[in-house]
């Protein structure tokens, strides 16, 4: 068995940003014969969509710095039978063109995949204007739109493939922060998907939430899945058993898994690098309040972000493993 | 014209288009009087444009199948002018007269703004202004990609824009893009009626020298009288034949055209006529029909698609 140190070293060596999967996956989909065309807004290098242009220049349309037109053009491409992906950064690729996404793409249920990168506070140095914290809530509110927030490189590939192969609008949230692998290349994604990655073996034995059993369920998405798994290690050393669930499909959400896993521990902590208003925490709380009322603590953002390296920003806002463990410990106290 | 026979044939065809536009105007007033809600001004200003487009022979469509796969595409970016589209659909037999009378009511196919789920041949939901040109450009690009693969002529895309919505910045993104991508299979038609909800476009936020601006963005510009069907049809044919850039046909129009008390009045942008006003409007349109029949030597039997109407 590998020591903690070697495990950490292996993980660290293999860290990759979810955005790194974008261009590569679209090239694979083209090679599979799917009629994929992507539209980006002067960020093809950053989103990695430049890889698609290297494969076939006709497959990437760069509209320049014009996100509203990016979404409109993608809508038109989808009408003509192409599977259209949009790029840009999450802050521009959802906020600047929200009306186009709402009134043209979602209402008409077009086959357009809204797939920006650079979401959340882990954007880091660029600071608050570039750290999108409301995209999940914006996209989740739209009829017809499905919302996927993959945890790592391989999960992102799986989510992009799912988006390409299912009809209709899908939002895939990607980031620039290198994240330790959670999955291997065999991972597949599905709508209403949620993966229980770490289960509290003792949970369910004693009456949930009775105080005798120190356990809780952590629902996380995106980069926070990896942080939550590390937090669970820290918590285990302190005698707190954490179940960790990757809720990568925020809409449609898997109610069954959320209710089941919440019932087991009687305490729910949600973690996201996104506003707690309308994001994963809200989605989980909606399910639980209607189906199985459970105390919920939401970790996420309530302010704008700030400049610093991504990991430092995560730490600053208490959204790294240490911060999650601290919040969980207080919650269980 | 080479000879009198050709001249008479062209004149008769123009008369047919003018009759179709007159029928469309009748339908617009009838449906708005029934719904007591909707936008007459911009629908009436665009009636001759829409009638010309569908009788010009420039646009490929199948009157018996609005969803025909190989059709050229038409988008109404100024979605509030939905009544002109619904009236056209009625004239083509794509919806019934009974359908017309359901405008804006619960469960109607005739939503307040065009709904792609409710009727065939509507590519996207329209109504939020400034979006149609981007979508049309995306379609034109998609058809060019298809044509590159198949070696066939690309499908053509027509989009009808309002002058008020040219104030939306997104349109200028799309103009720049369409020229840069050389989308020669794209024709935009601008209904320049110089009115928007708050008043004259020239007073609210002027478009300035719109011809020069569009040209400067790299487009071909044709400027016509938007109530002269012969001019509009000629421009549509010419625009499609130009292969060096996308084309915009700028049409000088009168908002509310055909109903004297609505003409050039901002207040008729989005209010429906009451019964008395509707009767007055219909009487005027009836007289215009007589005038068209006399001027062009056509009769009711010459109205295009008359046999299709339900």
Q: Which tokens is A280 given?
A: 């994963």
Q: How confident is the model at residue B2 (pLDDT cuts 50, 70, 90)?
A: low
Q: Is B116 in the A-facing interface, judged by CB distances under 8 Å?
A: yes
User: Mean pLDDT, to the nearest integer, of A86-101?
Assistant: 98
Q: Is B146 in the A-facing interface, judged by CB distances under 8 Å?
A: yes
Order the strands of the A268-275 sheet from edge to edge: A195-198, A241-246, A215-220, A268-275, A296-301
Residue A213 has pLDDT above 70, yes or no: no
A21 and A141 assigned to the same domain? yes
Residue B78 has pLDDT above 80, yes or no: yes
Q: Is A42 in the B-facing interface, judged by CB distances under 8 Å?
A: no
Q: How confident is the model at residue A77 (pLDDT cuts 50, 70, 90)?
A: very high
A162 and A259 assigned to the same domain? no
A20 and A153 assigned to the same domain? yes
Asked whether residue A299 is domain-assigned, the answer is yes
The per-residue pLDDT for B5 is 81
Residue B189: which CATH number?
A: 3.40.50.970
Q: Is A33 in the B-facing interface, judged by CB distances under 8 Å?
A: no
For residues A253 and A281, the answer to whether their CB atoms sit within 8 Å is no
For residues B156 and B185, the answer to whether their CB atoms sit within 8 Å is yes
Is residue A252 reached through a cis peptide bond, with omega within 30 degrees of 0 on the bond before it? yes
A247 and A324 assigned to the same domain? yes
**Domain boundary, last residue among A172, A203, A222:** A172
For residues A117 and A45, the answer to whether their CB atoms sit within 8 Å is no
In which residue are the tokens 């996420």 written?
Answer: A300
The per-residue pLDDT for A13 is 53
Whether B177 and A63 lie within 8 Å, measured CB to CB: yes
A257 and A300 assigned to the same domain? yes
Q: How confident is the model at residue A206 (pLDDT cuts 50, 70, 90)?
A: very low
Nearest-CB residue to B142 (from A72, A82, A100): A82
Asked whether residue A324 is domain-assigned, the answer is yes
A139 and A244 assigned to the same domain? no
Q: Could you give the dihedral angle defined by the CA atoms of residues A10, A11, A12 and A13, in that order, rounded to the nearest 10 degrees?
A: 50
Residue A207 has pLDDT above 80, yes or no: no
- Give me the number of domains chain B comprises: 1
Query: Coil, strand or helix: which one is A246?
Result: strand
CA A232 to chain centre: 19
pLDDT (tens digit per residue) in A226-252: 999 999 999 999 999 999 999 999 999
User: Mean pLDDT, to the nearest integer, of B45-61?
Assistant: 97
pLDDT (tens digit per residue) in B184-212: 999 999 999 999 999 999 999 999 999 99
pLDDT (tens digit per residue) in B127-174: 999 999 999 999 999 999 999 999 999 999 999 999 999 999 999 999
pLDDT (tens digit per residue) in A117-133: 999 999 999 999 999 99
Buried b / exposed e along A11-27 (16+ C-beta atoms within 10 A): eeeeebbbbbbbbbbbb
Domain range holding B40?
Answer: 4-308
A214 and A148 assigned to the same domain? no
Order the strands of the B73-76 sheet from edge to edge: B73-76, B157-162, B186-192, B247-252, B220-225
- Distance between CA atoms of residues A311 and B35, nearest Å: 59
Compute how many other C-beta atoms are within 10 angstroms of the C-beta atom of residue B306: 15
Residue B213 has pLDDT above 70, yes or no: yes
pLDDT (tens digit per residue) in B272-291: 999 999 999 999 999 999 99
The per-residue pLDDT for A11 is 57
- Distance between CA atoms of residues B51 and B63, nearest Å: 13
Nearest CA in chain B to A70: B134
The per-residue pLDDT for A75 is 98
Asked whether residue A203 is domain-assigned, the answer is yes
The per-residue pLDDT for B309 is 85
Spatial neighbors of A219 by CB under 8 A, at least 6 apart, are: A245, A247, A258, A261, A268, A269, A270, A271, A280, A284
Q: Quick one: which of B152, B151, B82 has its CA closest to B122? A: B82
Q: Is B79 in the A-facing interface, judged by CB distances under 8 Å?
A: no
User: Chain B, 266-285: which have a CB under 8 Å from a chain A CB?
Assistant: none
pLDDT (tens digit per residue) in A248-272: 999 999 999 999 999 999 999 999 9
Q: Which tokens is A185 given?
A: 């290349």
Q: How confident is the model at residue B308 (pLDDT cuts 50, 70, 90)?
A: confident
Using left for φ > 0, alpha for ψ between -120 and 50, and beta otherwise, residue A59 falls in alpha
Q: Which tokens is A8 given?
A: 């950490």
pLDDT (tens digit per residue) in A271-327: 999 999 999 999 999 999 999 999 999 999 999 999 999 999 999 999 999 999 999
- Give me the number of domains chain A comprises: 2
Query: Coil, strand or helix: which one is A205?
Result: coil
In which residue are the tokens 């215009």 written?
Answer: B288
Asked whether residue A250 is domain-assigned, the answer is yes
Chain A residues in contact with B173 (beta carbon < 8 A): 63, 66, 68-69
Lowest mean pLDDT among A154-158, A213-217, B126-130, B249-253: A213-217
Residue A216: which CATH number?
A: 3.40.50.920
Q: Quick one: which of B307, B272, B243, B298 has its CA closest to B17? A: B298
Nearest-CB residue to A77 (from B141, B174, B176): B141
Spatial neighbors of A142 by CB under 8 A, at least 6 apart, are: A101, A102, A106, A169
A130 and A256 assigned to the same domain? no
Q: Is B69 in the A-facing interface, judged by CB distances under 8 Å?
A: no
Q: Is B135 in the A-facing interface, judged by CB distances under 8 Å?
A: yes
Nearest-CB residue to A76 (from B116, B117, B141): B141
Q: What percent of chain B has pLDDT over 70?
A: 99
Whether B177 and A76 lie within 8 Å, measured CB to CB: no
- Distance between CA atoms of residues B152 and A172, nearest Å: 35
Chain A residues in contact with B155 (beta carbon < 8 A): 80
In which residue are the tokens 């008479």 written?
Answer: B8
Chain B residues in contact with A68 (beta carbon < 8 A): 130-131, 134, 169-170, 173
> Which residues share a beta bridge with B220?
B247
Q: How confident is the model at residue A201 (pLDDT cuts 50, 70, 90)?
A: low
Q: Which tokens is A75 given?
A: 């809508």
Spatial neighbors of A285 by CB under 8 A, at least 6 apart, are: A270, A296, A298
Residue A6 has pLDDT above 50, yes or no: no
A40 and A164 assigned to the same domain? yes
Residue B22 has pLDDT above 60, yes or no: yes
Q: What percent of chain B has pLDDT over 90?
A: 94
Nearest CA in chain B to A81: B142
Q: Which tokens is A260 given?
A: 């089941």
Angle CA B127–B128–B130, to nearest 5: 110
Domain range holding A95?
Answer: 15-172
**Domain boundary, last residue among A138, A172, A206:** A172
> Which residues share a beta bridge with A246?
A195, A220
Sign of the Cα pseudo-torsion (B65, A113, A269, A154, in order): positive
Asked whether residue A204 is domain-assigned, the answer is yes
- Distance between CA atoms of residues B189 and B223, nearest Å: 10
The per-residue pLDDT for A23 is 98
């Amino acid at each position: 068995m590998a020591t903690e140190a070697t495990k950490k070293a292996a993980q660290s060596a293999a860290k990759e940003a979810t955005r790194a999967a974008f261009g590569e996956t679209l090239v694979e989909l083209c090679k599979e014969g799917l009629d994929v065309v992507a539209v980006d807004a002067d960020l093809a290098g950053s989103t990695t969509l430049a890889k698609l242009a290297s494969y076939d220049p006709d497959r990437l349309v760069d509209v320049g710095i014009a996100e509203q037109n990016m979404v409109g053009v993608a809508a038109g491409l989808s009408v003509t039978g192409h599977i259209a992906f949009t790029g840009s950064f999450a802050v521009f690729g959802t906020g600047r063109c929200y009306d186009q996404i709402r009134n043209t793409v979602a209402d008409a249920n077009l086959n357009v995949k809204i797939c920006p990168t650079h979401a959340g506070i882990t954007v880091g140095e660029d600071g608050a204007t570039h750290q999108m914290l409301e995209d999940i809530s914006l996209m989740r509110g739209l009829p017809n739109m499905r919302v996927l927030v993959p945890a790592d490189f391989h999960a992102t590939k799986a989510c992009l493939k799912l988006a390409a192969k299912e009809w209709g609008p899908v939002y895939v949230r990607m980031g620039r922060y290198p994240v330790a692998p959670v999955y291997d290349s065999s991972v597949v994604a599905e709508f209403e998907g949620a993966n229980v990655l770490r289960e509290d073996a003792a949970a369910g034995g004693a009456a949930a939430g009775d105080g005798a059993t120190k356990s809780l369920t952590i629902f996380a998405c995106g980069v926070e899945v990896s942080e939550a798994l590390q937090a669970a290690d820290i918590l285990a050393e302190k005698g707190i058993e954490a179940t960790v669930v990757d809720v990568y499909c925020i809409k449609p959400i898997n109610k069954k898994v959320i209710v089941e896993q919440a019932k087991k521990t009687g305490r729910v902590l949600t973690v996201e690098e996104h506003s707690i208003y309308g994001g994963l925490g809200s989605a989980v709380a909606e399910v639980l309040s209607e189906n199985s009322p459970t105390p919920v603590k939401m970790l996420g953002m309530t302010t704008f972000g700030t400049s610093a390296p991504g990991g430092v920003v995560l730490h600053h806002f208490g959204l790294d493993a240490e911060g999650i463990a601290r919040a969980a410990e207080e919650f269980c106290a | 014209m080479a000879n009198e026979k050709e001249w008479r044939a062209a004149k008769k065809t123009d008369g047919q288009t003018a009759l179709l536009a007159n029928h469309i105007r009748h339908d617009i007033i009838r449906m708005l009087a029934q719904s007591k809600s909707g936008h007459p001004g911009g629908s009436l200003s665009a009636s001759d444009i829409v009638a010309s487009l569908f009788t010009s022979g420039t646009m490929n469509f199948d009157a018996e199948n609005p969803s025909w796969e190989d059709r050229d595409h038409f988008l109404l970016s100024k979605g509030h002018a939905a009544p002109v589209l619904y009236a056209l659909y009625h004239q083509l037999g794509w919806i019934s007269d009974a359908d017309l009378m359901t405008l804006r009511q619960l469960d109607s196919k005739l939503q307040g703004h065009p709904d792609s789920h409710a009727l065939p041949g509507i590519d996207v939901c329209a109504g939020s202004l400034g979006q149609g040109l981007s979508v049309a450009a995306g379609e034109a690009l998609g058809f060019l990609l298809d044509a590159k693969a198949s070696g066939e002529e690309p499908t053509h895309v027509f989009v009808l824009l309002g002058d008020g919505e040219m104030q939306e910045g997104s349109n200028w993104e799309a103009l720049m893009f369409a020229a840069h991508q050389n989308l020669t299979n794209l024709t935009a038609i601008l209904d320049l009626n110089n009115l928007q909800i708050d008043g004259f476009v020239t007073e609210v936020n002027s478009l300035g020298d719109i011809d020069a601006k569009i040209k400067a963005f790299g487009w071909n510009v044709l400027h016509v009288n938007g109530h002269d069907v012969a001019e509009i049809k000629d421009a549509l044919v010419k625009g499609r034949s130009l292969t060096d850039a996308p084309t915009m046909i700028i049409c000088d129009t009168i908002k509310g055209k055909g109903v004297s008390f609505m003409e050039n009045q901002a207040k008729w942008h989005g209010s429906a006529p009451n019964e008395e006003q509707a009767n007055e409007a219909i009487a005027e349109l009836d007289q215009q029909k007589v005038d068209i029949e006399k001027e062009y030597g056509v009769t009711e039997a010459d109205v295009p698609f008359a046999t299709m109407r339900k």
